[in-house]
């Protein structure tokens, strides 16, 4: 038996994960929408494809997420694929040590070099313009 995914609940899940209130989603969907209408929509198991597309666009998520998201599958995947799970088969984790301060300092040094090159270029332009003015 194929499991039916409750699309209204998926809309509610994504809306809540994205920090939207029902009123906010209603505003995004247009003047003919209200908080009550969103509440009723979230209770529907199946929603028309055109409406799902409009809601997905308002939430800025793919419509397929609203159609296909299955909480049980997601929970199963999280439980069985995290670092400390019992499945130690091919799991490995790369640990990178990136010091944000070092990266910031490297970026500042690069900005300084770019600024110096820009300044030198501007000096050359000024010298060229002064030379052209002297010739006149």
Are residues 103 and 76 part of one domain?
no
In-domain check, residue 53: yes
- What is the residue-averaged pLDDT of the chain? 82
pLDDT in tens, 22-49: 999 999 999 899 999 999 999 998 999 9
- Domain of residue 38 covers 7-81
Are residues 108 and 71 part of one domain?
no
pTM of the full predicted structure? 0.53
Are residues 52 and 104 part of one domain?
no
Are residues 71 and 110 part of one domain?
no
Share of the chain above pLDDT 90, in %: 36
Number of compact structural domains in the chain: 2
Please tell me the distance from the alpha carbon of residue 20 to that of residue 29, in angstroms, as a whole number: 12
Are residues 21 and 74 part of one domain?
yes
In-domain check, residue 115: yes
- Cβ contact 26:55 at 8 Å: no
Are residues 77 and 11 part of one domain?
yes
- Quick one: CA dihedral 28, 33, 37, 41, positive or negative? negative
């Amino acid at each position: 038996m194929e499991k039916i995914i409750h699309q209204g609940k998926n809309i509610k899940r994504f809306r809540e994960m994205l920090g939207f209130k029902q009123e906010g989603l209603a505003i995004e969907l247009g003047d003919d929408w209200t908080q009550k209408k969103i509440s009723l929509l979230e209770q529907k198991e199946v929603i028309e494809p055109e409406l799902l597309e409009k809601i997905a666009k308002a939430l800025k998520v793919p419509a397929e997420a609203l159609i296909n998201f299955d909480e049980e599958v997601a929970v199963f995947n999280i439980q069985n694929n995290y670092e400390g799970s019992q499945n130690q088969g091919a799991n490995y984790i790369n640990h990178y040590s990136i010091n944000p301060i070092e990266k910031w300092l490297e970026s500042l040094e690069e900005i300084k070099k770019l600024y110096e090159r820009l300044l030198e270029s501007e000096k050359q332009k000024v010298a060229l313009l002064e030379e052209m003015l002297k010739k006149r």
